[in-house]
Every structure is written in structure tokens, then in C-alpha cells.
Amino acid sequence: MPGKRIYTADRLFTGESWLENYAIVAEDGVIKELLPVASLSSSQHIEQFTNCIIAPAFIDLQIYGAYGKLFAVYPEADSLFKLKDYCEKGGAAYCLPTVATNTYDVFYKCIDAVKEYWNRGGEGVMGLHIEGPWINPAKRGAHIESLIHAPTLQEAKELLEYGKGVIRIITLAPEVCSKQVVDLILSYGMIISAGHSNASYAEGKQSFIHGITAVTHLYNAMSPLQHRAPGLVGAAMDDDTVMASIIPDGHHVDYAAIRIAKQVMKERLFVITDAVTDTTEGYYKHEQAGDKYEAAGILSGSALTMSKAVKNLIRHSHISPGEALRMCSLYPAKLIGLDMQLGMILPGYRATITVLDNEMEAISVFRK
């Protein structure tokens, strides 16, 4: 929102440190300065949040739908408006709608829907994350086996050309994709994440050398870390640069395994919700089972929000509040190359913030 805005709360997390009784002064959507509340004039219009925390806004890079409208089933702008609302209620100002293994027709319709959403003034949707169908059937999870295949260079080019400017991340299994396909995707400026993969440790490490910079939902649907076969999990952990998403809902990954991965990967580990919604149509008939979703009896998605993820990291994985907040903001911003604009509350950054109560429950999101 243009003009000058001032936000205050009892505590402020800048992404680096905690400040008490400080104010954010923003102008035309950019943070200008951080000031002690006592230094503000009583005549200034201040948006004050008592008994609250202000933190950098969350970014969810993998989420499939909300409020009964799975994006792959309803590839239309209305689905994205609902998804944005769901994300904001959980403290996420930005998201990447995700489409799991599907037909190319569905991918194209989803690309069109993102464009329509933007044309209608929709905010918060950063593009599209395509997960599959170029994955390994041995690690398909709930993905539809009949649609899984290795891509030809031509079909990859057709999808990439159609999705130019919309597709931000593609999850694929590096062992089933040629180096030519990987190089082609990278030439479009898209991020490649290794996932639903049975890659060996060596194949995983080689794929990182060739430009794959992330791993999708660490531990899930990938070759595991074993003492004689470290697999893709071991390759991701044993690398200085590759990042990995993780789903802290207590179902996809044990909280102790998250803590172990965090100790190894540090700032390279970030949160996704992997949230789906109930649906009786399409390839993925997600049914809520407690606080998770299943399709045909297989774990198929979470019921997480980003603020719930923060609480789980703190309470169950014993990760510090500041680090849990960074895993939901700064680190995903880093993966998509926006860590100089988002993920911090410092002068020069976008005035994009999440307001939380002292229990880390999201209250409001301000996005610019």
C-alpha cells in the first residue's frame, strides 16, 4: 500500500535479532527504518499490535489447494484466491501453488490460471511449482504411476515455453532426466528440485554439480540415508549449498529426524506445508484423516499452515523461535533468489510482515 506506514508490537524479530518495543517505518512498501516506540510522535498514525510479535512474512513454496478447491482439479483464478486466503490465515504472504504428477493439459490450464489471477490483481502467488511427472515410479508416493515418465527434450521444451514467466520450480528425479533436459530447464531460469527420486548418493551429488539446487520434502519419497548407501538424503546433507524443504507436521517426518537434519543442514533446511484439501474429483482424492490427508490409504498431504509449522518446530523439534521463523521466511526467500527483498525486517527490504500472537498463531499479514 503506497504512503507511509508504521507498525509496532511488543517484540520484533528482524530475521537477525529480537527487538522489544520497536517500530517499523515503511514508505511506499519499503522499510525505511526501525525506531524505538518511545521516539515516535503521538500525532503519527501507528498500527499497534499488543501482546504480539512482528516477524518477516512466511513463504510457502509447496501447497496444492484450499477450502475444497485442489488447484489441479479446479485450475482457475478462484482457486488461487482461496489459496491466498488460506496462506494468509497461516501467516504466509507468498506461496507457490503446486501441481503433482498430472496430464500436460492440466499443467497448461494451471499456467493459464496463474496468469488470469495476476491479470485480476491477485497478490501473493509467485508462480507455479510443478512436481512430476518426471519422477521415479519407485518413489512415487501418492503420485499416479501411469502418468510418470522420463521427458523427451521436445516435450520438456513445449512445457517450459508455455510456462515461461510462471513456472518457478520443477521437482524431478535426476536419475530419470537427461543432462540435456536439466540444462534446458535451467536455461529458462527455473529452479530444479530433486524429489520422488531413487537416486544413489553419487547420482544425487552429480545432479547438484549439474545445477540442481534443492531437494523436495527431505526424507519423503527419496532414497534414504543408510550406512552403506547414503542415498539422496545423504547427498543433500553432505553438500555445502543444496537446500531442502521439509514438512513438520509430525506425520511426514519424525520431529527427531527434523532436528537431526537441522543440525546438519542448518540454514539450508526450510519449511513447506505440502498442504492439500479434500476432494472427490481428479487423480488425487484427498481425504482428511485427523490432521493429515490420505489418498487411497497413502499419506498424500498435510493440513499444515506455516504458523502451525513454526509452533511444531519449536515445541517438538526444539528449534529456537528465531530459527523456526527463518525456516519459514528467509530460507525459502533465499532459494528463489529474493533474500535481498524478503525474509528480513531491515531498511531496504519490502515491508512484508506477519503479525503473530505470543503462541506463534498468525493474526495478520501485510504484504508489499
The CATH code of the domain that includes 283 is 3.20.20.140
Task: Write out the catalytic residue numbers.
Answer: 274
pTM, two decimals, is 0.97
Same domain, 355 and 329: no
Burial of 359 (0-12, 13-18, 19+ CB in 10 A): exposed
Can you give the residue range of the structural domain that contains 186? 59-335
Q: Rounded distance, CA 56 to CA 349, Å?
A: 10
> What is d(CA 358, CA 151) in angstroms, rounded to the nearest whole number?
48
Residue 278 falls inside a structural domain: yes
Q: Are residues 235 and 159 in the same domain?
A: yes
Tell whether 169 and 227 lie within a shared domain: yes
pLDDT at residue number 45: 87
State residue 158's pLDDT score. 98
Establish if 340 belongs to a structural domain: no
Tell me, yes or no, whether 328 lies in a domain.
yes
Q: Say if residue 127 is in the same domain as residue 65.
A: yes
- Give how many domains the chain has, as a whole number: 2
How many angstroms separate the Cα of 318 from the Cα of each of 60, 70, 104? 21, 33, 42
Q: How many CA atoms lie within 13 A of 352 on its CB side?
A: 25
In a domain, 195, yes or no: yes
* 297 and 244 inside one domain: yes
Residue 162 sits in the same domain as residue 307: yes
Asked whether residue 287 is assigned to any structural domain, the reply reads yes
β-pairing, 69-70 vs 65-66, is antiparallel
Backbone angles phi, psi at 64, to 5 degrees: -110, -20
Residues 254 and 265 in one domain: yes
CA distance 213 to 240: 11
Are 238 and 106 contained in the same domain? Answer: yes
Task: Say how far apart CA 314 and CA 55 lie, in whole Å.
Answer: 15
Same domain, 103 and 223: yes
Q: Are residues 17 and 90 in the same domain?
A: no
The per-residue pLDDT for 337 is: 97
3-state class of 38 per DSSP? Answer: helix
Whether residues 302 and 246 fall in one domain: yes
Q: Cell numbers 505440502 label which residue?
A: 274
* pLDDT tens digit at each of 368 positions of the chain: 457 999 999 999 999 999 999 999 999 999 999 999 999 887 788 999 999 999 999 999 999 999 999 999 999 999 999 999 999 999 999 999 999 999 999 999 999 999 999 999 999 999 999 999 999 999 999 999 999 999 999 999 999 999 999 999 999 999 999 999 999 999 999 999 999 999 999 999 999 999 999 999 999 999 999 999 999 999 999 999 999 999 999 999 999 999 999 999 999 999 999 999 999 998 899 999 999 999 988 999 999 999 999 999 999 999 999 999 999 999 999 999 999 999 999 999 999 999 999 999 999 999 87
Distance separating alpha carbons of residues 316 and 304, to the nearest angstrom: 15
> Are 169 and 218 within one domain?
yes
* pLDDT of amino acid 87: 98
Strand partners, 55: 354
For residue 1, what pLDDT is reported? 43
